[in-house]
Amino acid sequence: MTDPQHDGDALDQASLGEQLADIIERLPPDTLSLGELLDVFSDEGLLLLTILLTLVFLIPVSIPGVSTVFGAAILLVGVSRLINRPLWLPARVKDKALPADRLRPGLIGGLVWVRRMEKISRPRRLRFFVDGAGQGTLNNLAFILAALLLMAPFGFVPFSNTLPALALLLYAIGFIQRDGGAILLGHLANIGTIAYFSVLIGGGGVAVRELFQRLTG
């Protein structure tokens, strides 16, 4: 499993919000790639990178293709944690140009959520949810599930990206702070996402069936 000390090292002296605000401030003015972001973050800072990538989904902004690219990157962060190996990204994901000018407002807006989470997060709270190899495996699998849910093709539906992004934000903060309370809230956000998607799929099936009956009636 990933060494918990590495997660804590990512905090350094500044708060999460301060570190992320500084990184956002230094983004290029036109385009950027995940490879450029990875140059800023070491392996120990991958959870900070995860938090940064989730921010754009926490406010009502739509940037086509971002959920797939960012979701894939976060998914691979989760896999690297699960198998305790360095992060690897395929060139297609790593080198894809993204509009920094459109991402920046979303990232800045999403910092509000990070600062809120920092206020309620408590290091080493409810340690049952973070201590132990079994809990670590379960939590990393839940993290991977949240990334897959973020990549689901429901981006046009309100909150379809926000809910799994919130789960990922809670997991990342929980991993960094060793905060079982944040991780528990992440699990609840995952369950809420699955329930929401089930309603969307079920409602869509009913609508299609009614339309078919009207056309063939």
| Angle subtended by helix axes 46-55 and 100-120, to nearest 10 | 110
DSSP3 helix / strand / coil % (the chain, rounded to 5): 70, 0, 30
Report pLDDT digits (tens) over 98-139: 877 777 887 888 888 888 888 788 888 888 888 888 889 999
Task: Identify the residue with better confidence: 170 or 56.
Answer: 170
User: 139 with 130: CB under 8 angstroms?
Assistant: yes
The residues that bridge with 98 in the sheet, in sequence order, are: 32
**Domain interval for residue 163:** 4-216
Give residue 24's Cα distance to chain centre.
16
What 3-state class would DSSP assign to 142? helix
Q: What is the mean pLDDT of residues 138-164?
A: 85
CA-to-CA separations, 140 to 26, 33, 39, 147, 163, in angstroms, rounded: 30, 25, 24, 11, 18
User: Among candidates 179, 200, 166, which has minimal Cα distance to 124?
Assistant: 179
- Judged against a pLDDT cut of 90, whether residue 49 lies above it is answered with no
Say which amino acid occupies 144: I
Number of domains the chain is built from = 1
| Angle subtended by helix axes 16-25 and 100-120, to nearest 10 | 170
- Judged against a pLDDT cut of 70, whether residue 154 lies above it is answered with no
For residue 6, name the pLDDT band (cuts at 50, 70, 90). very low
